[in-house]
């Protein structure tokens, strides 16, 4: 027996989603151009500590940020403050991914540095609210998730441009339980959405003299949506004849990243949201795991920088939060500093992070009392930032 009522209900639900998406298309086509940070004073930086180990590592990341931007803060060019309320307790109390007053506050800052926030799932003690990362990306239209992965000694120097607002994530919380037997989720790729991320990746490649760009899809199977993404990729590629463009399917791509000879060839990679989610975790593993990677969520008006790992509530329950590794969030801080225009300072911070985390390793973080605390590690890092031999030491390590 076909349940016509269930089908009609599903169609109505689907209709509403399509209406909202069409409105989004209009907004995207009329979006304002990129903000120019050189024309803003002060640039307002908001710190969102998050929950779990978040506040612990955020405190260290903020300390580094203030240290790096000390002069600018004194001169009134930069303003840094903490934004309260983005904790799982407060979000659960409002039953919202981001409570309204918190979102309003966030929008007063040009850029934010965010600690991990707990994402509830079915069965957790929390209401099953949407991930706050995903909500923030949508609310502030942070369409580009930029994740660099570098392991200089292995010849790895990748930068991933993951689309950040569409694909399975756009309608992730709005699927339908059609009847008691089956459910449907929706995958969405739009031309304006694909164009803006693909163009950003090509522009990055051109500006940074990268010679190759790779698009990752599963267009052989997911023909309509990934097909649209891929078609836009090759259309835009024609405007950048100096950059070699190719494409791979996500399955073989995950394999090629472990192929030590082939993986060095990849430089700039661009892909829809879900493939990017998976691939960037794999890629970060070569650099030392997701704990070492930072991510930039960039839109034309706002930008948010975050650690890509979770909030590790167990570390807090077991009284080990002070041993959490702040490196990922400090990497995110480096990306923030770069994004607002202080390229040399960001480079310095990245060098110090490489020395402390990958090469010299005078202090090692294990997440337990067997290792250093996040605070001790940050002190060690700041010591290196003060060291006039930072650059030459880093070069020495990289050359091996």
Site residues (CB under 5 A) for Mg ion, limited to 353-382: none
In the bound state, the residue with its beta carbon closest to ligand IPM is 131
Q: Tell me the closest approach of the beta carbon of residue 331 to Mg ion, in angstroms.
A: 15
| Of 56-64, 131-139, 222-230, 362-370: span binding ligand IPM (CB under 6 A) | 131-139
Count CB atoms within 10 A of the CB of residue 242.
8
List 119, 225, 267, 393, residue binding ligand IPM (CB under 6 A): 119
CA distances in angstroms from 372 to 4, 30, 288, 312, listed in the order given: 62, 50, 17, 17
Longest dimension (CA), the chain: 77
CA nearest to 162, candidates 291, 30, 272: 272
- Give which of ligand IPM, Mg ion, none residue 265 binds (C-beta under 5 to 8 Å, depending on kind): none
List 139, 277, 360, 379, residue binding Mg ion (CB under 5 A): 277
Q: Report d(CA 336, CA 369) in Å as an integer.
A: 31
**Can you give the C-alpha Rg of the chain in angstroms?**
22
Cβ distance to Mg ion smaller for residue 192 or 310: 310
Q: Tell me the closest approach of the beta carbon of residue 140 to ligand IPM, in angstroms.
A: 15
Determine, following the binding rule CB under 6 A, whether residue 131 of this chain makes contact with ligand IPM.
yes
What are the residues whose beta carbons fall under 8 Å from the beta carbon of 58, sequence distance 6 or more? 47, 48, 49, 50, 113, 115, 329
Cβ distance to ligand IPM smaller for residue 133 or 267: 133
Q: Report d(CA 313, CA 325) in Å as an integer.
A: 14
List 157, 265, 277, 379, residue binding ligand IPM (CB under 6 A): 277
Cβ distance to Mg ion smaller for residue 21 or 131: 131
Q: Which two tokens stand for residue 38?
A: 């050189």
Cβ distance to Mg ion smaller for residue 109 or 275: 275
Cβ distance to ligand IPM smaller for residue 119 or 217: 119
Determine, following the binding rule CB under 6 A, whether residue 133 of this chain makes contact with ligand IPM.
yes
Q: Specify which residues 112 forms β-bridges with.
A: 46, 304
Q: Report d(CA 351, CA 398) in Å as an integer.
A: 10
For residue 105, how far is the Cα from the chain centroid?
Answer: 21
Q: Tell me the closest approach of the beta carbon of residue 177 to Mg ion, in angstroms.
A: 25
Query: 64: buried, middle or exposed (CB in 10 Å: 19+, 13-18, 0-12)?
Result: buried
Give the binding-site size for ligand IPM (rule: CB under 6 A).
6
Site residues (CB under 6 A) for ligand IPM, limited to 6-45: none
Q: Tell me the closest approach of the beta carbon of residue 87 to Mg ion, in angstroms.
A: 21
CA nearest to 352, candidates 392, 389, 321, 381: 381
In the bound state, the residue with its beta carbon closest to Mg ion is 277
Q: Tell me the closest approach of the beta carbon of residue 312 to ligand IPM, in angstroms.
A: 13
Q: Which two tokens stand for residue 321?
A: 């939060």
For residue 263, how far is the Cα from the chain centroid?
Answer: 22
| Of 71-79, 98-106, 130-138, 331-339: span binding ligand IPM (CB under 6 A) | 130-138
Cβ distance to Mg ion smaller for residue 277 or 285: 277
Site residues (CB under 6 A) for ligand IPM, limited to 49-78: none
Determine, following the binding rule CB under 6 A, whether residue 134 of this chain makes contact with ligand IPM.
yes
What are the residues whose beta carbons fall under 8 Å from the beta carbon of 380, sequence distance 6 or more? 356, 362, 363, 372
List 308, 329, 335, 340, residue binding ligand IPM (CB under 6 A): 308
Place of tokens 């661009």: 270
List residues binding ligand IPM (CB under 6 A): 119, 131, 133-134, 277, 308
List residues binding Mg ion (CB under 5 A): 277
């Amino acid at each position: 027996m076909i349940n016509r009522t269930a089908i009609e209900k599903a169609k109505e639900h689907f209709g509403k989603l399509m209406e909202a998406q069409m409105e989004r298309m209009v907004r995207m086509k009329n979006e304002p151009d990129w903000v120019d940070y050189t024309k803003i004073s002060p640039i307002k930086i908001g710190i969102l500590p998050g929950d779990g180990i978040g506040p612990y590592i955020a405190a260290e990341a903020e300390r580094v940020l203030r240290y790096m931007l000390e002069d600018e803060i004194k001169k009134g060019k930069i303003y840094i403050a903490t934004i309260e309320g983005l904790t799982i307790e407060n979000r659960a109390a409002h039953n919202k991914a981001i409570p309204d007053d918190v979102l309003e506050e966030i929008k007063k800052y040009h850029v934010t540095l965010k600690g991990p926030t707990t994402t509830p799932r079915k069965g957790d003690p929390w209401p099953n609210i949407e991930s706050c990362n995903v909500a923030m990306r949508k609310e502030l239209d942070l369409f580009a998730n930029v994740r660099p992965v570098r392991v200089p000694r292995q010849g790895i120097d990748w930068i991933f441009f993951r689309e950040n607002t569409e694909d399975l994530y756009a309608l992730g919380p709005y699927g339908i339980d059609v009847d008691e037997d089956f459910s449907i989720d929706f995958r969405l790729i739009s031309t304006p959405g694909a164009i803006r991320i693909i163009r950003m990746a090509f522009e990055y490649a051109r500006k940074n003299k990268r010679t190759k760009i790779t698009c990752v899809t599963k267009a052989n199977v997911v023909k309509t949506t990934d097909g649209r993404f891929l078609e836009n990729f090759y259309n835009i590629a024609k405007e950048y004849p100096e950059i070699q463009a190719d494409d791979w399917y996500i399955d073989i791509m995950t394999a090629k990243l472990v192929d030590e000879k082939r993986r060095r060839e990849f430089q700039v990679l661009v892909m829809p949201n879900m493939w990017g989610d998976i691939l960037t975790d794999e890629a970060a593993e070569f650099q030392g795991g997701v704990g070492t990677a930072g991510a930039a969520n960039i839109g034309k008006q706002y930008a948010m920088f975050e650690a890509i790992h979770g909030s590790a509530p167990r570390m807090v329950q077991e009284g080990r939060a002070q041993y959490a590794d702040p490196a990922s969030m400090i990497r995110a801080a480096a990306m923030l500093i770069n994004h607002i225009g202080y390229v040399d300072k960001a480079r310095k911070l990245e060098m110090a992070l490489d020395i402390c985390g990958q090469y010299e390793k005078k202090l090692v973080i294990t997440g337990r009392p067997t290792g250093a605390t996040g605070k001790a590690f940050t002190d060690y890092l700041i010591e290196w930032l003060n060291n006039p031999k930072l650059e030459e030491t880093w070069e020495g390590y990289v050359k091996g």
